[in-house]
Amino acid sequence: MSTTSPAALSASGLPSGLAGLAFAKGHGTGNDFVLVADPDGLRDYDAGEVAAVCDRHNGIGADGFIRAVRSEHLPEGQALLQTNPDAEWFMDYRNGDGSVSEMCGNGVRVFVHFLLEEGLAQLAEGQALPIGTRAGLKTVTRTENGYAVDMGPWEFIFPDHAAAKAMDTVVDAGGLEVPRPGLSVSMGNPHTVVALAELSELAATDLNTAPSVDPVPEDGTNVEFVVPAEPLVVDGVGQLTMRVHERGVGETQSCGTGACAAAAATRFWAGAAAPNSWSVAVPGGVLGIRFLTGPEGREHVELSGPAVLVARGTLL
């Protein structure tokens, strides 16, 4: 993270270059974001500026920072437009520490809601909007109670180990008596899923510091601890409770891609009779997960849930 000398700070204590920045604050099941509109790509933000804004004590406070920019103004967006010319908008997403991230499932729902509230896009219930991300194109559909996102295909990060042992890594965290096996799943960003037996064990797990993961995926990993319900399936829907430690953030109230990964891993562990629809309870609410066949024939994951804007303001 970059450092800023006192002379370069505004009256608010934030980097002076941020003075006058108009923003919105939003969340999806408690996973919260600062959002800014930059349609013409006129202003990028460095890691230090993002971290300062997302700081919960000295800034606005958020798990992540989202810049709404037209795809044509970013190299990643220009590449997407070659095959997806309707992907006008790109979600430029940063973690709360300022690091660049590929994708955020809760964030993309809040991003689309922000575009609608800003008058930058229109979307009636049942209609879909293609969004560019660093994890590729994501299609977001407006629903009666929020938004559903086709998150694209999922895959194992270490497929040979997953197939042979149904686990590929060992995870240790504070509060756990012994390290636990994990299964690593990519949703365009990396996740490691650990199953626990009891809700009390989940509650006692310390996620204030990053869990130890061995071997860790190349770009690091988000770690999800899940407790499958008993019974696992109710009215044809699988039931999970989850907590998550996100790369560059720490524990968050929710993680959309993490919920998808948790459902994918648990469904794999449960075997061929496992359902395609899942309900994942996180500290910030409940997310819906559905497995379906994508247009190219691969299995995709759909994530559904609410998106809310709670405030608007201008940085001093």
Phi, psi dihedral angles at 151 (to 5 degrees): -80, 0
Of residues 62, 80, 104, 263, which has the active-site annotation? Answer: 104
b/e for 239-255, b at 16 or more Cβ within 10 A?
A: bbbbbbbbbbbbbbbbb
Altogether, the residues listed in the chain come to a count of 316
Answer whether 111's CB lies under 8 Å from 261's CB: no
81 sits in which H/E element: helix 75-83
Of residues 255, 259, 260, 315, which has the active-site annotation? Answer: 255
Nearest to 171 by CA among 225, 123, 219, 218: 225
Q: Are strands 250-252 and 285-293 parallel, antiparallel or unpaired?
A: unpaired
DSSP letter, residue 25? E
Structure tokens at 306: 């609410």
Active site residue 54: no
For tokens 């037996």, the residue is 197
Distance CA 144, CA 164 (A): 42
Nearest to 45 by CA among 78, 21, 75, 13: 21
Give catalytic residues, as residue numbers: 104, 255
